[in-house]
Structure 1
Amino acid sequence: MSEPVVPAAAPPVIPPLPPVAPPVLAEVVRSGFVEGRHRGSLVLLAADGTVDLALGDVTSPVFPRSSNKPMQAAGVLRAGLELSGERLALAAASHSGEPFHRELVAAMLREHGLTEADLQCPPDLPLDGEERETYLASGAVRSRIAMNCSGKHTAMLAASLHRGWPLKTYLDPSHPLQQLIHGVVEEASGERVTATATDGCGAPLLSLSLTGLARAYRTFVLSPPTTPERRVADAMRAHPEYVAGTHRHDTWLMRDLPGALSKMGAEAVQALALPDGRALAFKIEDGAPRALRPVLGRALGLMGVDGAVAERIGAVPVLGGGREVGEIRAVF
């Protein structure tokens, strides 16, 4: 008589490991007490393009937001639009909405037979706090020209007009201009775009890893001078006040550190490349922009950048009663 067959025991169910939180990159210190922490991921590239330091997840896709703007401006040049100097810098800008920004956007629209009504970025107030107060006090209201992406949108419209491409659909991901930009992003970063979304200004938003983003900025500063990529980098570095604004750290950095290419993006993204090919990119996990400068300052220090420049960028005081009672400091 045969022995009864005993069913094999089912293998144990092993639950998946919880996701690993990125490391703390910055702390908020008030009166000696740590009241908040900002986590994030950061990558530093050496001059030869190899990874010098990686903290957190630097290989998964993120949305670089406005840190993609140099690549969008290069796409406009690839379309054949002739832009240079301040106009090209403004095409890659998240401008503060100061008078000189608004005046140049208006001039560019006129030069190409366009009007503010052609812009499809949303009406907004100036990004700079002081300028916003002055703007509102003058009785001005939200406008598309005051919106920080208006230079980029003007350049996209002008490029489409130059090529005879549709103006009404210039923000559609399938539009020929957006396809050109898609190609620039993938070529400069050396990786495929795996996610596409709509940015705050309405333009297509293409994902990259932080490593790919740093690599793209490295590509821009090392490309030959006549290429669209290098032309954008040179215009941004020559006219940083048009890329950002009078009170913005990207402007200070490109002024104080000759040859540096720097651009922040919403949700606390930052990318930068030095003229010798060293580069960085990082993202603060909770999207808090107040952590950008301390993290950037520390990263610059690790890259061997002049201490005075790194300290100026990284110094962010915490106020209490109108006076300094602490700081936001990097902790990596």
Structure 2
Amino acid sequence: MPESVPPSSGPVPRADGVPVSERLSGLVSLVEGPSGFVPLADGSSGLVSPAGGDPGFVPLAEVVRSGFVESVHFGSAVGLAPDGAAVVARGRVGAPVLPRSSAKPFQALGCLLSGADLHGPRLAIAAGSHTGEDFHVRLVAEMLGEAGLGFDALGCPVDWPEDEATRHGLIRNGLPASRERMNCSGKHAAMLTASVASGWAVDSYLDAAHPVQRRIQAVVEELSGEKTAHVAIDGCGAPLFGLSLTGLARAVQGLVRAEPGSAPRAVADAMREYPEYVGGTGHVNTSLMRALPGALAKGGAEGVLVVALATGHAAAVKVIDGSPRATTAIALAVLRAAGGDVAAAAEFTTVPVLGGGLPVGEIHVLEEK
């Protein structure tokens, strides 16, 4: 059993001993209100405070079992027309969210603009959350090897692959979890190769003030049209730049609407051409992009998803309880309401609820009344 960590009033260290406070220094200061949430421009908080009040989230989907509404997912969702107009807005779509892995396409773009040799599958895996299969790991090894680096340079945590068959195979063969199997290793490899290409330090590439992270922040702000609302540390250890849900939808729309041959368009094209590197076997983002040719889909932890169609329609979803199980259905409903054609993805519009292994209900989207 791991030893317990005694309480401390000092800075919280990362696994490599670097305090989180140092990694965030020199960028956006963290401002906390009484409830610990980031104040908005109007003085309110991004979420409901312990004292109560209207959080601004609306019911987006409900879980029905045998005709009984068992659970309801609340959150916010926004849909953009091809011209960028927000034609669907449910909940507080202007409030800050942490995009989590939905930000990976923008992080990949920042690495590309910083000199990383990213193209085709390399660019897709840099923008993806892969399932840790062998073909993913081989590509990460190739990217790092060409930069003179190994898996030990990765700053993401050790993890098991998300792909069940691969995970079971490793366990049967007595092989351990590893950094390269972690779903963010492609992004981290891109950040490292960008640092090598530009002559920047590699041991501090996860610091928020590192040049590659500053470039990524600039990309997020330019595509979203917003200043960073909050800086956090993502689950993989990389800096994460908060923005509104509308800004997130606008940013991904900017990738699919960019001029052919441009760097932003290269990211979108790579993800759509190689969806197996964005996710992997059985991954919902991969399956959705295959069902909707020309679509770009990228989910993130804690109930975040962004989807853009080739036509320029875009949707961003945040389910506030953090569950991802209804996000794809919600995003498709928002895209349809915004005028997008998602008929080819009908199989994703509801989620079956099982009882004894058989369907006894469904998770379905609640349409705005």
Aligned pairs for 1:158-169 within 5 A: 158-169=193-204
Contact in 1 for aligned 2:78/2:245 (Cα 8 Å): yes
Number of residue equivalences = 317
Match of 1:274 in 2: 309
**3-state SS of paired residue (1:289):** coil
Matched with 1:64 is: 99
Q: Work out which of the residue numbers 225, 228, 240 in structure 1 matches 2:275.
A: 240
Contact 2:78–2:315 (Cα < 8 Å) also in 1: yes
Task: Give 1:44-123 correspondences, 5 Å limit.
Answer: 44-123=79-158
Q: Specify whether residues 131 and 315 from structure 1 end up closer, same or farther in structure 2 by C-alpha distance, changes over 3 A only.
A: farther
The answer to whether the 8 Å contact 1:76/1:156 transfers is: yes
Q: Alpha-carbon deviation of 1:306?
A: 4.6
Distance 1:150 1:184 in 2: 21
**More displaced 10-residue stretch of structure 1: 108-117 or 47-56:** 108-117
Shift of 1:303: 4.0
C-alpha deviation, 1:307, in angstroms: 5.4
Q: Map residues 182-331 of structure 1 onto 2, 5 A cutoff.
A: 182-306=217-341, 308-331=343-366
Counterpart position of 1:155: 190
* Pair 308,136 (structure 1): closer, same or farther in 2 beyond 3 Å: farther
Counterpart AA for 2:345: A
Q: Is the 8 A contact 1:296 1:313 kept in 2?
A: no
Segments of 5+ residues of structure 1 without an aligned counterpart are 1-15
RMSD across aligned positions (CA):
1.6
The AA in structure 1 aligned to 2:142 is: A
Cα deviation digits, residues 255-307 of structure 1 (max 9, x gap): 22222111011101011112222111010010011121321232243245555
Report the TM-score when normalising by structure 2: 0.83
Aligned-pair CA distance for 1:325: 1.4
Residue matched to 1:124: 159
Q: Are 2:100 and 2:234, in contact at CA under 8 Å, matched by a contact in 1?
A: yes
List gaps (5 residues or longer) in structure 2: 1-50
Bigger Cα Rg = 1
Contact residue 311 and residue 340 of structure 2 kept, 8 A: no
Question: C-alpha separation between the residues in 1 aligned to 2:245 and 2:183?
Answer: 23
Q: Which residue of 1 aligns with 2:77?
A: 42
Deviation at 1:28, TM superposition (A): 0.9
Q: CA deviation at 1:83?
A: 1.2
Q: Which has the higher helix share?
A: 1
1:49 aligns to what SS in structure 2?
coil
Q: In 2, Cα distance between the equivalents of 1:81 and 1:105?
A: 13
Q: Is the 8 A contact 2:350 2:365 kept in 1?
A: no
Given that residues 298 and 310 in structure 1 are in contact (C-alpha distance below 8 angstroms), is that contact kept between their aligned partners in structure 2?
A: no
| Residue number in structure 1 paired with 2:38 | none
Quick one: distance in 2 between partners of 1:135 and 1:211?
A: 41
Counterpart of 1:7? none
**Local SS of the residue matching 1:232:** helix
What is the Cα deviation at residue 111 of structure 1? 2.0
Query: What is the CA-CA distance between 1:146 and the residue it aligns to?
Result: 0.3
SS in 2 for 1:290: coil
Q: In structure 2, do the counterparts of structure 1 residues 293 and 272 end up closer, same or farther at CA, with 3 Å as the change threshold?
A: closer
Question: Which digits, 9 at most, give the CA deviation of each residue in 1:61-112, with x for residues without a partner?
Answer: 1000001001000001111222100011011110011221112112222222
Once the 2 structures are TM-superposed, how far is the Cα of residue 22 of structure 1 from its aligned partner?
Answer: 1.1
Structure 2 residue identity aligned to 1:147: M
Instruction: Work out the CA distance in 2 between the residues paired with 1:235 and 1:42.
Output: 26
* 287-296 vs 200-209, which moves further: 287-296
What is the TM-score with the length of structure 1 in the denominator?
0.91
Q: Quick one: which amino acid aligns to residue 119 of structure 1?
A: L
Percent of pairs identical after alignment? 53
Compute the displacement of 1:35 (Å). 0.7
Q: Distance in 1 between matches of 2:342 and 2:214?
A: 41
How far apart, CA to CA, are the structure 2 residues paired with 1:134 and 1:330?
37
2:212 corresponds to which of 170, 173, 177: 177
Q: Distance in 1 between matches of 2:164 and 2:148?
A: 31
